[in-house]
A and B are shown apart, each in its own frame.
Chain A
Amino acid sequence: MSRIEARFAALATEGRGALIPFVEAFDPDRETSMALLAGMPSAGADLIEIGVPFTDPMADGPTIQAAGKRALAAGAKLPRILDMVREFRRADAATPIILMGYLNPILAYGPPRFCADAAAAGVDGLIIVDLPSEEADLIAADAARHGLDIIRLVAPTTDDARLPKVLAGSSGFIYYVSITGITGTRTASGAQLEAAVPRIRRVSSLPIAVGFGVRSPEQAATASRVADGAVVASALIDTLAADLDAEGRARPGTVGKVLDQVRALAAAVRAG
């Protein structure tokens, strides 16, 4: 059983959904993002998404764009991000790690070698924003060979006729992009989620995580109750960004502030 499968199965017996916080690798430097990553499980993260920066993040709003820019300036590169995952795995063998980013850095690395190296480093799944199911064969076989889940995205624009095509051959969990928009802008209402999630459940038995626009503990609680997990990204990055000094460097308390926010989100998710 993969780490992702095992984690969702364990949460199902607990009767609650997952909190999935996001950390942009190398934002604003390796040390800070490594401390965040390492601190997240004990702060209540059930799975963790690591953002892989790209110069042209087409699906991201200003918050993640700025995080990516800081990260690239700090020297973020795929091999160095895999190195962070290796370091994380020395202390944590159970928390699933999902890399989220865009296709081109993976193409430049080479999909076969990337999948091998990512799996060896301890990565469990990939979310590749600009790789729709129509193009997924570019990496699907390599990912499967190394036991990496390619997490499929479903959007409000994905209609019932298209859903089975999008979800064919999917594994791990399903990422429901809850709004038509970019990250960090709008928020879906509880009612919208209550309508959307059953639509996906009819087609797939995989766990469903809700992302894009989940910001507050209440929203995280709703999303993880209606679906099976809540992804929180921009709200955490906003906290980090607001705490940086004039030169864009983290302060001594920055990591603690972000982890406190993870704790608050986790408490709400656990309370249901």
Chain B
Amino acid sequence: MNTPASSIGANSLRSGPDARGRFGAYGGRFVAETLMPLVLEVEQAYRDARADPAFQAELDAYLANYVGRPSPLWFAHRLTERLGGAKIYLKRDELNHTGAHKINSCMGQILLARRMGKTRIIAETGAGQHGVATATVCALFGLPCTVYMGATDVERQKPNVFRMKLLGAEVRAVRSGAATLKDAMNEAMRDWVANVEDTYYLIGTVAGPHPYPMMVRDFQSVIGEEAKLQMMQAEGRLPDVAVAAIGGGSNAMGLFHPFLDDAAVRLIGVEAAGHGLETHAHAASLSRGRPGVLHGNMTYLLQDEDGQIEEAHSISAGLDYPGVGPEHAWLHDIGRVEYVAVTDDEALAAFQLLTRTEGIIPALEPAHALAQVAKLAPTLPRDSIILANLCGRGDKDIFTVAEHLGVSL
């Protein structure tokens, strides 16, 4: 939200969504009538906040002094040398408080919830990173917090479950459906419908009914805005390529959005190919899905021929979602962003590569982006530049990685 909407022209790729919350055919507000007035209320409150310089000033102060922004831009020289091609820069959002980019949007949304006079916060979480970030800002402001998490994820992300509880949040294990992130989101929506008066639903990615995809993107765009300035300072020019992992798509939208009108910058979103795109065990909704409606928005979904939603798979719980934010669906259709997919094994290899070359343990989500960087960099000239979003640190993933490497902790 550093760039005022008024300064963006109609021909800009940054002018979306339209008044109906559409990016091309995607997005919208597909929720039950009970929720519709609330969704409209959030939209109005967000528009008011965005127009209020005091809101932005308050957010900026929290981002600087609590989250630790701006995050550094790091020239990864040993990784660059090892890959033997393009220069690789990493946007270090894993250094944020709580260890991922999720807090950028949580901070913006909790300030909005307070402005709206809401006294209770709910959220969904997959890997637990968004749940931890939400529980954190709730502790900071003394608001009760309920986090919905699929029972399967509660089992595989125990450290984050304990963190949320330490922070005072109630973690509700969701057993309906397949008991993963999409079911947690269903359950959070059900809670919201039943508690419309006092509750704010703090969504963790650029999905859900309008205005969430726009609002979360705006709050995450601080990543790309900073990176743009930092690239100019470091290299005197913009990168040739920017790469980010795609779960729901919030870290990628945050990195890409400020670059959308810079046509010379190639943008690459990396989905999770899981066991492989030819199998059914992946989370590549753009590469393999079809448009449909889930969780309040029209977007690409993993679904069967009857429109029933299919389960996603990824080694990374944060990418394990059968949908994707609607703005990505549009950017995919118009070809502005290329979407590729990387397997569990490729992500694991990249995880280890970064750890050994740069002394940075990445989360498994950005390890997918790094795997794509590892494929791409050697094919590009040495004076070209790749910018990758290192959107989370890997502490939460060491148990998963140990298991895959056959190590028992």
Q: How many A-B residue contacts, CB cutoff 8 Å? A: 121
In the complex formed, the residue of B with least CB distance to A101 is B307
Q: A58 CA to B209 CA in the complex, in Å?
A: 13
Name the one of B32, B177, B308, B309 contacting A129, with C-beta atoms under 8 angstroms: B32
Q: A271 CA to B303 CA in the complex, in Å?
A: 47
Residue pairs across A and B with Cβ atoms less than 8 A apart, 28 shown, are: A56-B182, A56-B295, A57-B186, A58-B32, A58-B186, A58-B295, A59-B190, A65-B177, A107-B291, A108-B290, A108-B306, A109-B307, A130-B32, A132-B36, A133-B33, A134-B29, A134-B36, A135-B30, A152-B33, A153-B32, A158-B36, A166-B33, A180-B194, A180-B196, A181-B194, A182-B190, A182-B194, A186-B194
Name the one of B37, B196, B293 contacting A107, with C-beta atoms under 8 angstroms: B293
Give how many B residues have a beta carbon under 8 Å from the other chain's beta carbons.
37
Contact status B32-A59, CB under 8 Å: yes
In the complex formed, the residue of B with least CB distance to A132 is B36
- A131 partner residues in chain B, CB cutoff 8 A: 30
New A-B pairs, 19, CB < 8 Å, besides A56-B183, A132-B29, A134-B28: A55-B177, A55-B308, A55-B309, A59-B190, A78-B307, A103-B30, A103-B293, A104-B293, A104-B308, A105-B308, A107-B292, A108-B292, A130-B296, A135-B29, A155-B33, A155-B37, A157-B37, A180-B194, A180-B196
User: With an 8 A cutoff between CB atoms, is A72 at the interface?
Assistant: yes
User: With an 8 A cutoff between CB atoms, is A185 at the interface?
Assistant: yes
- A3 partner residues in chain B, CB cutoff 8 A: none
Q: A219 CA to B290 CA in the complex, in Å?
A: 43
Name the one of B33, B37, B193, B294 contacting A182, with C-beta atoms under 8 angstroms: B193
Contact status B34-A106, CB under 8 Å: no
Give B183-225 as 1s and 0s: 1 = Cβ < 8 Å from A's Cβ atoms. Answer: 1001001100111100000000000000000000000000000
Give B13-46 as 1s and 0s: 1 = Cβ < 8 Å from A's Cβ atoms. Answer: 0000000100000001111111111100000000
Q: Dominant SS at the B interface?
A: mixed
Q: A146 CA to B249 CA in the complex, in Å?
A: 39
**Which 10 residue pairs across A and B have the least CB separation, nearest first?**
A108-B307, A105-B307, A155-B34, A181-B194, A104-B307, A153-B33, A55-B309, A157-B37, A59-B32, A55-B308
**Chain A proximity of B118: nearest CB distance (Å):** 15
Q: A104 CA to B308 CA in the complex, in Å?
A: 7
User: With an 8 A cutoff between CB atoms, is B355 at the interface?
Assistant: no
**Chain B proximity of A181: nearest CB distance (Å):** 4
Query: Range of interface residues on chain A?
Result: 35 or more
In the complex formed, the residue of B with least CB distance to A180 is B196
User: With an 8 A cutoff between CB atoms, is A154 at the interface?
Assistant: yes
**Chain B proximity of A165: nearest CB distance (Å):** 10
Contact status B30-A132, CB under 8 Å: yes
- A270 partner residues in chain B, CB cutoff 8 A: none
**Chain B proximity of A157: nearest CB distance (Å):** 5
- A106 partner residues in chain B, CB cutoff 8 A: 307
Contact status A180-B293, CB under 8 Å: no
Q: A66 CA to B216 CA in the complex, in Å?
A: 33
Q: Which of B289-324 contact A (CB under 8 A)?
A: 290-296, 301, 303, 305-309
Contact status A56-B294, CB under 8 Å: yes
Q: A102 CA to B31 CA in the complex, in Å?
A: 10
User: With an 8 A cutoff between CB atoms, is B379 at the interface?
Assistant: no
Q: A58 CA to B295 CA in the complex, in Å?
A: 8
User: With an 8 A cutoff between CB atoms, is A159 at the interface?
Assistant: yes
Q: A102 CA to B293 CA in the complex, in Å?
A: 9
User: With an 8 A cutoff between CB atoms, is A202 at the interface?
Assistant: no
In the complex formed, the residue of B with least CB distance to A78 is B306
